[in-house]
Amino acid sequence: MPDASVVLRPIEEADLGRLRRLDTDPSVSEPFDWYGFPNPHSRRRRWDEDGFIGRDPCVLAVGLPDRTLAGVVSWRAVRPGGGVEGGCFEIGVLLFPEHRGRGLGSEAQRLLVDYLFATTLANRLQAVTDAENLAEQRALERIGFEREGVMRGVAFIGGSWRDMVMYARLRPAPPAEAQPGPNAGIG
Ligand SMILES: CC(C)(COP(=O)(O)OP(=O)(O)OC[C@H]1O[C@@H](n2cnc3c(N)ncnc32)[C@H](O)[C@@H]1OP(=O)(O)O)[C@@H](O)C(=O)NCCC(=O)NCCS
């Protein structure tokens, strides 16, 4: 696969104009990620408030080496099955159309996984995507997510109820030498 070099960084003020595309041009998010026009002022307000980091959903820029904004990744705490707060995050990603199909989506999500396991106590990261979104399913599989099942008729997108697929990846076990052995604490 060609060059997949991206960084994750906080959203900068200069990115806001480019992000407006997400709110005004449905073709950027269709067919899997368009839920209708949002409040056109809310993105600037959120950036003024906390730069998209601080409350859910949190958002980071997917940046090219020259700082071009290629897309965004996001995450929010979820508590499936009544789990403890902070034990599970749901992640998302969107690249602008001109940056797709070059490995950047896989790489951006791989960086997000590393970041969340390094900076939070999450044990589980999950991602939910349209059953027909093969690019996202493949990207998740490439970075170690496992397909757990189909949620039928759960999202209303583009005028119809859609099936969504649940993927998840668990926090890697610590290396064997870091775990207490059977004789730990003896002698
Ligand atoms: C989904 C998305 C993040 C994937 O990122 P990407 O950079 O385009 O994908 P990658 O180049 O990393 O490719 C990942 C895999 O999907 C495959 N793929 C890419 N486009 C595909 C398509 N249209 N159909 C089927 N497979 C596709 C690639 O060949 C690659 O598989 P491989 O490892 O076997 O070669 C990106 O396309 C995107 O932002 N789409 C719009 C928003 C979206 O759908 N977000 C996810 C919502 S949950």
Site to probe by mutation for ligand 1, drawn from 98, 106, 151, 164 as the one with most ligand atoms within 8 Å of Cβ, is 106
**pTM, entire model:** 0.92
Q: Which residues line ligand 1 (CB under 6 A)?
A: 1, 32-33, 71, 92-95, 100-106, 129, 133-136, 138-139, 142
Chain centre to alpha carbon of residue 54:
16
pLDDT at 174: 84
What is the average pLDDT across 95-104? 97
What is the average pLDDT across 102-107? 97
pLDDT at 51: 97
Q: Quick one: 187 exposed, middle or buried, by C-beta within 10 A (0-12, 13-18, 19+)?
A: exposed
Output the average pLDDT for the chain: 93
> Which pLDDT band, with edges at 50, 70 and 90, does 3 fall under?
low
Amino acid code (one letter) for 121? L
Atom of ligand 1 nearest to the CA of 106: 12
pLDDT, tens digit (0-9, with 9 covering 90-100), for 117-167? 999 999 999 999 999 999 999 999 999 999 999 999 999 999 999 999 999
According to CATH, the topology of domain 7-127 is: Aminopeptidase (3.40.630)
pLDDT at 182: 62
List the domain boundaries for the chain. 7-127
> Which pLDDT band, with edges at 50, 70 and 90, does 185 fall under?
low
Instruction: Please state, for a pLDDT cut of 90, what percent of the chain lies above it.
Output: 87
pLDDT, tens digit (0-9, with 9 covering 90-100), for 43-82? 999 999 999 999 999 999 999 999 999 999 999 999 988 8
